[in-house]
Amino acid sequence: MQMTSTDFLKLIAQNDFRIALEDDAPNGRLKTKSGKNVRLQNRLGYVRCPVDLPAGAFDGYVKADLIEQETARWYRLTKIGRARGLS
């Protein structure tokens, strides 16, 4: 499952996911609002869990003002990020 940072932004916006910075996921890991790891499955049945952002995506989102800090290690989309992800 190869996804671009744009694909991730769309996925986050459509599902109201959060990005968590964890010791073993310094680029960010997708979480549900309740804190569970996001689980993706493609048409062939391949499952990806946990789902980590690609290197550079988190920094790109911050620089473009697409995410904002929610708690010490959790981030959510800004209004701009949500609009771009849903466009």
In tens, the pLDDT along 11-67 reads 999 999 999 999 998 899 999 999 999 999 989 999 999 999 988 999 999 999 999
Read off the DSSP letter of residue 54: P
Read off the DSSP letter of residue 56: T
Q: Does the pLDDT of residue 2 top 90, yes or no?
A: no
- Note down the domain range covering 56: 5-79
Domain for residue 85, yes or no?
A: no
Domain for residue 37, yes or no?
A: yes
Domain for residue 60, yes or no?
A: yes
pLDDT score, position 55: 83
Domain for residue 71, yes or no?
A: yes
Q: Does the pLDDT of residue 1 top 70, yes or no?
A: no
The b/e string for 2-35 (b: 16+ C-beta within 10 A; e otherwise) is ebebeebbbbbbeeebbbbbeeebeebbbbeeee
Least confident of 6-15, 40-49, 75-84: 40-49
C-beta of residue 38 within 8 angstroms of C-beta of residue 30? yes
pLDDT score, position 86: 97
Counting the structural domains of the chain, the total is 1
Domain for residue 87, yes or no?
A: no
Q: Does the pLDDT of residue 4 top 80, yes or no?
A: yes
Give the span between the Cα atoms of 87 and 66, in whole angstroms: 13
